């Protein structure tokens, strides 16, 4: 059994859209590729047929995995989240104690993490280190190249 995953409304929509695309667009393409390869003759020596069957198998595995994730997905109700501590969906402004650099992150579920847009996973080292902290606290975070200390400057929600 897979564990429960928490999603924002946007993240859950992306998951549903991807699943729908795989089922309605990619699955028929895979079936068509198999049919075309089958029409080319002897299946025992048809590498194109074997490749198409393997691609279909990989597609079906991906669909099954996404269906399982979707079945265990829970939508986060942002109205009930505490803003005094860093939690999932918190916008956190932190200051690196070593160099004084200020950073802003939004903590999200692992599946929604995107560093380019400032969204980090709550399961990442920095995300784990920030969870549960309040404004003014120092988070000591162990990263691959040592320990970093971040001061929590601000916590907000969109």
Q: How far is CA 149 from the centre of its chain?
A: 26
For 73-127, write each residue's pLDDT tens digit.
877 766 666 677 888 888 899 999 989 999 999 988 887 888 899 999 888 999 8
Which pLDDT band, with edges at 50, 70 and 90, does 157 fall under?
Answer: confident
CA angle (137, 140, 142) in 5-degree steps = 155
Identify the CA nearest to 71 among candidates 25, 21, 7, 132: 7
Which pLDDT band, with edges at 50, 70 and 90, does 72 fall under?
Answer: confident
For range 20-38, the mean pLDDT: 92
Which pLDDT band, with edges at 50, 70 and 90, does 48 fall under?
Answer: confident
pLDDT of residue 63: 93
pLDDT of residue 64: 93
pLDDT of residue 79: 64
Taking all residues of the chain, what is their mean pLDDT, rounded to a whole number?
86
Phi, psi of 56 (to 5 degrees): -65, -40
DSSP assignment of 6-73:
EE-HHHHHHHHHHHHHIIIIIHHHHHHHHHHHHTTS-GGG-HHHHHHHHHHHHHHHHHHHHHHHHHTE
pTM across the whole model: 0.61
């Amino acid at each position: 059994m897979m564990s429960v995953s928490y999603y924002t409304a946007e993240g859950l929509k992306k998951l549903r859209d991807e699943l729908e695309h795989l089922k309605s667009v990619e699955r028929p393409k895979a079936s068509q590729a198999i049919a075309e390869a089958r029409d080319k003759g002897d299946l025992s020596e048809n590498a194109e047929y074997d490749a198409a069957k393997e691609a279909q198998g990989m597609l079906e595995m991906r669909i099954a995995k996404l269906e399982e994730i979707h079945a265990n997905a829970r939508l986060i109700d942002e109205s009930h989240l505490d803003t005094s501590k860093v939690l999932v969906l918190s916008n956190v402004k932190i200051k690196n104690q070593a160099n004084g650099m200020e950073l802003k992150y939004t903590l999200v579920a692992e599946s929604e993490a995107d560093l380019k847009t400032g969204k980090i996973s709550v399961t990442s080292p920095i995300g784990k280190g920030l969870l549960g902290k309040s404004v003014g606290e120092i988070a000591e975070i162990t990263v691959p190249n040592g320990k970093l200390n971040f001061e929590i400057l601000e916590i907000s929600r969109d």
